[in-house]
Amino acid sequence: MSEAFIRIENLTKTFRSRSRKGQDVEVLRDIDLEIASGDIFGIVGFSGAGKSTLLRCINRLEEPDSGSIHIGDEEITAMPQRDLLVFRRKLGMIFQQFNLLEARTVEGNVSFPLEVARLGKAQIAERVGEILELVGLSDRRQFYPGQLSGGQKQRVGIARALANDPIVLLSDEATSALDPQIALSVLDLIKDINAKLGLTIIMVTHQLEVIKYACRNVAVLEEGRIVEQGSVVDVLRNPTSATMKVFVKVNTEFATSTVQEGEGI
């Protein structure tokens, strides 16, 4: 693996209870993680393990309690808010539920972050054209979200995340709301973007199939801690954490059941 591009050290995050009788919840505990430039890195775990919170800490949509996050030469956790707002443009985000602006066309959704960055109209038009071609939506630029399929909506979300030419792409369960065939095409697109642009991509998911198909390296979260990490091949071949053992067992049983049902047809 090449030198770490993203370094996370001793990261902790606690959600404070607003109720006098409520209990604080420690969501992330002493997270240490290194991600190489250009990697497709998976973060996997059960619901409530802290996956999405970790992703949101990386772009500081959630504020960590302690620890540090470095991206390239920048320490994100030390940035004042004003600098963070500018730097965050370099961190593209793909959401599970698309989060598109229903009153805007495909072109309007993709151009929105460029308008916020105050680019000129000619620059915006050129950039939007490039990105829509990359994600295969050049013929849908004047369509509204309500006229698109789920896969097309997610492609718009990916295009919007790429608008400001980010150095990191963060994917929060980007395929879990999609049918399997459409999810596969979105994963192929993400892999293609990684190959063409050399983008570092972090994928949060609870789907082992996504990790196996798209990621090179993976970290396993369990109750807010990283309990296992390494190459996808090594982790799947010899899982050591309770979480990954369950994932592998269930995945194997599903595969075996499918084969047996197919033989009985």
- Domains of the chain, residue spans: 4-264
Q: Is the pLDDT of residue 111 over 70?
A: yes
Q: According to CATH, what is the number of the domain 4-264?
A: 3.40.50.300
Nearest to 100 by CA among 89, 111, 86, 87: 111
Average pLDDT, the chain: 91
pLDDT digits (tens, 9 = 90+) for 36-70: 999 999 999 998 899 999 999 999 999 999 999 99
Specify the pTM. 0.91
Yes or no: say if 216 and 40 are a contact pair by the CB < 8 Å rule. yes
Alpha-carbon span 93 to 150, nearest angstrom = 17
pLDDT at residue number 2: 53
In this prediction, residue 24 carries a pLDDT of 87
Q: What is the pLDDT of residues 215-249, one digit of tens each?
A: 999 999 999 999 999 999 999 999 999 999 999 98
Euclidean distance between CA atoms 191 and 185, whole angstroms: 10
**pLDDT of residue 125 exceeding 50:** yes
Strands of the sheet with 74-75, listed across from one edge = 25-36, 4-15, 66-71, 74-75
In the chain, the DSSP E strands lie at 4-15, 25-36, 40-44, 66-71, 74-75, 91-94, 168-172, 200-205, 217-222, 225-231
CA distance 232 to 241: 14
User: 105 pLDDT exceeds 60?
Assistant: yes
Digit-coded pLDDT (tens) for 170-221: 999 988 888 989 999 999 999 999 999 999 999 999 989 999 999 999 999 9
Residue 31, pLDDT > 70, answer yes
Look at 11 and 207; give whichever has higher pLDDT. Answer: 11
CB atoms within 10 A of CB 18: 6
Q: Side chain identity at 134, as an amino acid letter?
A: L
